[in-house]
Amino acid sequence: MRMIDLIEKKKQGLCLSDDEITWMIDGYVAGDIPDYQMSAFLMAVCFNGLDENETTTLTKAMMMSGDVIDLSAIDGLKADKHSTGGVGDKTSLVLTPMVAATGVPVAKMSGRGLGHTGGTLDKLESIPGFNIYLTTDQFIEQVKDIHLAIIGQTAELVPADRKLYALRDVTATVDSIPLIASSIMSKKLAAGSDAIVLDVKYGNGAFMTTIDDARVLAGEMIRIGESLGRKVEAVISAMGQPLGRAVGNILEVKEAVNALRGDGPDDLMDLCLSAGAELLVMTERCHDTKEARALLIEMIDSGKALEAFRQMVIRQGGDVRYIDNPDLFDTAKEVIAVKAEKDGIIADLHARDLGLASMMLGGGRRVKDDVIDPTVGLILTKKIGDSVCAGDTLVEVHTNTGLSDEVKHLILGACTLGGDGRSMPVIEEIVKGDE
């Protein structure tokens, strides 16, 4: 085979065979296919797409490009959760211990934030001592013992995706649904869990800006997962405003701990309960979502969910005193209030702009090698549908570098007045696979 022939086929809108796709991925990982040829192929995919079989074969080839974790030593059906990325999204820190507390094993590999979106690993690493780099054996043993582990992706897991994503990021080939779906699902499938719930976000703060695109992506990922023998469902959730009230790593950990104590924001808890209930049904822990939601609420009320989180922190080297007393966390030098300039009702809290504001304070990365300041970020004192008077605080800015005119302008521009008093529901719909 020759790579130039595969590029030509896709340029003409023709379908590649399973053997051709597998040969291409193996060759690229081995270094036999140069970046410039793979870039040409990726651009042809952006223009002409991939059919269902091509996307599934690409996912499988990527999944098999490195280690595939075998979780069979852990009893029962194993659960996992993935978010397509958002602002203030600390769902994994709340949902996974809730599910684990019911006895369902949760084996999760997470990623870091980039740009305006946050990453679970960055939040966990803001807990002093927390170690995200467990070996596969340590990962499996911990899930067996306490039903919960969240770690970073190992270098040996899906190397094809690591190479391809880095290339897509610099060649304007990120926004292709088949490429997004294969990237996400190759990692989720290689991580070994039996049941996966996908939080597919849409809106100005998400990679999928429209609900129609979110539905297409969700459907494609569900189809891929089921074709490769996994249970997959998706929650379509809104990212028109940040999730919860905290944006920034330590601030979000504190909010997650409060949620596990029963004092979480309504939108965050609704998402965690809904997605968690789907996982409990998928793993056969509960018969239906009504029973599952009740059980998850019981895990919060009894303190078992918080204890599951504490045990994970302890096992992964974190200082659990910070979970027991979040006031121990370092704080930013200043908290500066950004205030409303007139009366009105919040119509929009542009999530992307607020995420960018947090990034500019040092709470996120412009490029993957940037060092994050875990103490900075934003606390939203108002959400969509809330009334405000001139002089009321809209956002508390936690900063070590003051408040620049640029950041203040971003925040004020993100907080649009003129709404009708209705709040924004976080969950749009739940997409299930074939029954």
Average pLDDT over residues 246-252: 96
What was the pLDDT predicted at 165?
85
Please count the other Cβ atoms lying within 10 Å of the Cβ belonging to residue 67.
Answer: 17
Which domains, and CATH codes, for the chain?
A: 3-49 (1.20.970.10), 79-325+427-431 (3.40.1030.10), 331-417 (3.90.1170.30)
pLDDT beyond 70 at 18: yes
Average pLDDT over residues 30-41: 96
How big is the chain, counted in residues? 435
> CA-to-CA distance for 40 and 102, rounded, in angstroms?
48
| Residue 371 banded pLDDT, cuts 50, 70, 90 | confident
| Residue 368 banded pLDDT, cuts 50, 70, 90 | low
Phi-psi region of 7 (alpha: psi -120 to 50; beta: other; left: phi over 0): alpha
Average pLDDT over residues 137-147: 96
pLDDT beyond 90 at 113: no
> CA-to-CA distance for 216 and 250, rounded, in angstroms?
34
Burial class (CB in 10 A: 0-12, 13-18, 19+), 417: middle
Burial class (CB in 10 A: 0-12, 13-18, 19+), 37: middle
Average pLDDT over residues 285-300: 98
From the list 60, 168, 223, 254, the catalytic residue is 168
The full 3-state SS of the chain, as one line of letters, equals: CCHHHHHHHHHCCCCCCHHHHHHHHHHHHHCCCCHHHHHHHHHHHHHHCCCHHHHHHHHHHHHCCCECCCCCCCCCCCEEEEECCCCCCCHHHHHHHHHHHCCCCEEEEECCCCCCCCCHHHHHHCCCCCCCCCCHHHHHHHHHHHCEEEEECCCCECHHHHHHHHHHHCCCCCCCHHHHHHHHHHHHHHCCCCEEEEEEEECCCCCECCHHHHHHHHHHHHHHHHHCCCEEEEEEEECCCCCCCEECHHHHHHHHHHHHCCCCCHHHHHHHHHHHHHHHHHCCCCCCHHHHHHHHHHHHHCCHHHHHHHHHHHHCCCCCHHHHCHHHCCCCCEEEEEECCCCEEEEEECHHHHHHHHHHHHHCCCCCCCCCCCCCEEEECCCCCCEECCCCEEEEEEECCCCCHHHHHHHHHHEEECCCCCCCCCEEEEECCCC
What was the pLDDT predicted at 154?
79
Average pLDDT over residues 29-39: 96
Sole residue written with tokens 């189809």: 223
From the list 89, 161, 199, 373, the catalytic residue is 161
The distance in angstroms from the start CA to the end CA of the chain is 40
Q: Which long-range contacts (CB under 8 A, 24 or more apart) does 34-42 make?
A: 35/167, 37/3, 37/4, 37/7, 38/3, 38/164, 38/167, 39/167, 39/171, 39/173, 40/7, 41/3, 41/6, 41/7, 41/10, 42/164, 42/167, 42/168, 42/171, 42/173, 42/176, 42/179
What was the pLDDT predicted at 189?
94
Most confident by average pLDDT, 208-212, 334-338, 359-363, 365-369:
334-338
- pTM comes to 0.92
Sole residue written with tokens 């007139």: 342
Lowest mean pLDDT among 75-79, 167-171, 225-229, 295-299: 167-171
Mean pLDDT of the chain: 94
Task: Report residue 396: phi and psi, to 5°.
Answer: -95, 125
pLDDT beyond 80 at 116: no
Q: Which amino acid is present at 422?
A: R
From the list 112, 163, 187, 201, the catalytic residue is 187
Average pLDDT over residues 13-28: 97
Structure tokens at 319: 């200082």
Catalytic status, residue 168:
yes
Largest distance between two CA atoms of the chain: 68
| Residue 256 banded pLDDT, cuts 50, 70, 90 | very high
Catalytic status, residue 187:
yes
Catalytic status, residue 161:
yes
Pairing of strands 387-388, 344-349: antiparallel
Q: Report percent pLDDT > 90 for the chain.
A: 86
Average pLDDT over residues 170-192: 91
Give residue-wise pLDDT tens across range 398-410.
Answer: 999 999 999 999 9
Sole residue written with tokens 């974190």: 318
From the list 176, 183, 186, 358, the catalytic residue is 183
Average pLDDT over residues 78-98: 94
From the list 10, 60, 82, 310, the catalytic residue is 82
What was the pLDDT predicted at 118?
67
What was the pLDDT predicted at 114?
60
pLDDT beyond 80 at 370: no
**Contacts (Cβ under 8 Å, ≥6 apart) of 420:** 345, 347
pLDDT beyond 60 at 435: no
